[in-house]
Amino acid sequence: MNLTEYQRDAMAFRLPSSGSQYAFLNLAGEVGEVLSLEAKFIRDGGTAADYLNDMEKELGDVLWHLAAIADDHDLDLGRIAQLNISKLASRKARNKLQGSGDNR
């Protein structure tokens, strides 16, 4: 499945109450769950298999929110991914992977 297909398919599960503001604000909550999962694994331990299984689920929730935000702005998640790869390839070719700022 590519990201454009994912975005289209994922939006079929969007509830009417999950508008653009919800998707935008709750992205931070989902990222927080990814971070919390890591922290709890450090604190409590557990099996790598359980950790990875839970991480896949949490990253899927982050991906859904990214897809929703892209959809709300009439942007294509597949194109966003390709633009990001192109930007990174350009930085690598110019030896600018390190540093700060979007326009390096």
The per-residue pLDDT string of the chain (104 residues; one tens digit each, 9 = 90 and over) reads: 999 999 999 999 999 999 999 999 999 999 999 999 999 999 999 999 999 999 999 999 999 999 999 999 999 999 999 999 999 999 999 998 988 887 77
User: Any residues with CB less than 8 A from the CB of 91 and at least 6 apart, and which?
Assistant: 97, 104
- What pTM was computed for the model? 0.90
Contact 30, 65 (CB under 8 A): yes
What CATH number does domain 3-93 carry, 1.10.287.1080, 1.20.1270.360, 1.10.10.10, 1.10.3210.10? Answer: 1.10.287.1080
CA-based nearest residue to 81, from 73, 70, 91: 70
Burial (CB < 10 A; 0-12, 13-18, 19+), residue 77, is buried
Alpha carbons 96 and 10: distance in angstroms, whole number: 35
